[in-house]
Structure 1
Amino acid sequence: MPAPSEPTWFTRPSGADLATGRLNAAYDAADRHVVAGRADDLALRDGASAWSYARLVEDVGSLAGLMRALGVRAGDPVASAAGWRAETVLLALAAARIGAVLWTADEPLEAVRRARPRLTLASAEVLAEVAAALADVPDDEQARLVLDPDEAVLDERLDIGWAVGLRAGASDPAGIDPVAGDQPLAVALDGGAEQVVLHVHAVDGSLSAHPVPSAARLGRIWSTLVAGESVTLPLT
């Protein structure tokens, strides 16, 4: 497991009061490696698809720009109903970039039901189940990003294809939003009542041995990227 890495504080906290400090976990996981001259190094691989750190920053900025355009704001929940694939990693980083909070679970629809997310990443296979889970959420409080839109019947009020969404977000990509050091980065669910909260100041691998599998996966991905190493999916 990668060694812990000191976070980049844009504003250092006053003593032990992390709320007074400002940082961004997405910056530490991607942007700072580009700044350090490692733009072309491998950051993420999922099957035949690969992202350098430069491409990762570009795609995450585009996705975060789309999220802002859809009304996602700091503190808002987002979720993936698509399992741990490359697009879920991009969603996690994009959420962190603007201060939103990723919800994840071993049974992805559980995260959707519990979080009532402002944005949900979904495959065509589970799109109908996501829609049913969020049927009582007003249309102006949710959106769905669909990975394989050609295989689904889309609701034009709520659904956006992945590629179309990234292109739209690229027209106004989001920069880094410094957030308070005690802000939640993500929430991992165990299928029961337990919620494991990962905070923006602690993406150091400490969750990698957590008994809640979704928390362990999340901690492993974040700490690997923060350490400047590459994530290979699926995780083994």
Structure 2
Amino acid sequence: MATRTDLTWFRAPSADRPGTTNLCYHALDRRVIRGEASEIALTTAGQAYDVAALLAEVGALGGVMRSFDLAPGQVVAIGLGDPVTRALAVLATLRLGAVVADTTDDAAMVLTDGSLEPLAGVPALLHGTASQDPVWQLEWEFALSAGRTDPAAVVDVAGDAPALRLDGMTVLTRDVLDDGSEPARLVAALGAGEVVVL
């Protein structure tokens, strides 16, 4: 299994600096740069995504999230049952330097299929469920169509910045590859060039 020493760094950490990186870049962008764009990255029943296609979907979702002024370090609550959609949400959140969470505590955005209740005045992307608030809630496919016109670039993230907040525990960016959670395994497997089967 990959560990923190395998993480791709924009600026390497040192004794007095945490370094900078981006976990989505580690998982996808650098693989495109290395000529692996057409390699299969993720498969599910009846569908396969190569690295380039997965990156395009993640960039589109990130573009939508960024349009709501989601800033690095802010919390994104993800409650999605579909594993592919959940993987896209995790990678897009990390692309923007935001924090993947499994509860709505302090959430600046909610991505849900109904398993997490959208918060009043907080942007929400809804997968497979109708919007009840046209100002704050967008339906998934409509949102992605808009996001494809302006996909999100990667954000530099400090190695000691929070990346995951799951089950009440916070995992720092530099430690994600050492973590055993589902989002961590996704990033580690993609970064290692493995095919993720969902």
With structure 2 as the length reference, what TM-score do the two structures score? 0.90
Whether contact under 8 Å (2:75, 2:109) holds in the other structure is yes
- Given the superposition, is the C-alpha separation of residues 218 and 84 from structure 1 closer, same or farther in structure 2, using an over 3 Å criterion? farther
Select the structure that is richer in helix: 1
2:174 and 2:15 map into 1 onto residues whose CA distance is 14
Whether contact under 8 Å (2:20, 2:156) holds in the other structure is yes
Give the 3-state SS of the residue equivalent to 2:111 in structure 1. Answer: strand
Provide the aligned C-alpha RMSD in A.
1.9
Residue aligning to 1:203: 176
Residue aligning to 1:118: 108
Asked if 1:188 corresponds to 2:188, the answer is: no
Letter in 2 for 1:203: V
Asked if 1:178 corresponds to 2:156, the answer is: yes
- The structure 1 residue matched to 2:117, chosen from 119, 126, 130, is 130
- The structure 1 residue matched to 2:61, chosen from 60, 63, 66, is 63
2:82 and 2:2 map into 1 onto residues whose CA distance is 23
Output aligned runs, 1:85-234, within 5 Å: 85-104=83-102, 111-112=103-104, 115-123=105-113, 126=114, 130-131=117-118, 134=119, 137=120, 139=121, 142-149=122-129, 152=130, 154-189=132-167, 195-204=168-177, 206-208=178-180, 216-233=181-198
1:85 and 1:122 map into 2 onto residues whose CA distance is 12
Give the 3-state SS of the residue equivalent to 2:72 in structure 1. Answer: coil
Identity %: 31
Whether contact under 8 Å (1:203, 1:226) holds in the other structure is no
With structure 1 as the length reference, what TM-score do the two structures score? 0.77
Letter in 2 for 1:7: L
Residue aligning to 1:49: 47
1:197 and 1:153 map into 2 onto residues whose CA distance is 31
Give the 3-state SS of the residue equivalent to 1:165 in structure 2. Answer: helix
Letter in 1 for 2:76: V
Whether contact under 8 Å (2:131, 2:139) holds in the other structure is no
Residue aligning to 2:72: 74
- Alpha-carbon distance, 1:222 to partner: 2.1
Give the 3-state SS of the residue equivalent to 2:190 in structure 1. Answer: helix
1:77 and 1:160 map into 2 onto residues whose CA distance is 18
Letter in 1 for 2:172: H
Whether contact under 8 Å (1:145, 1:161) holds in the other structure is yes
- Alpha-carbon distance, 1:30 to partner: 0.8
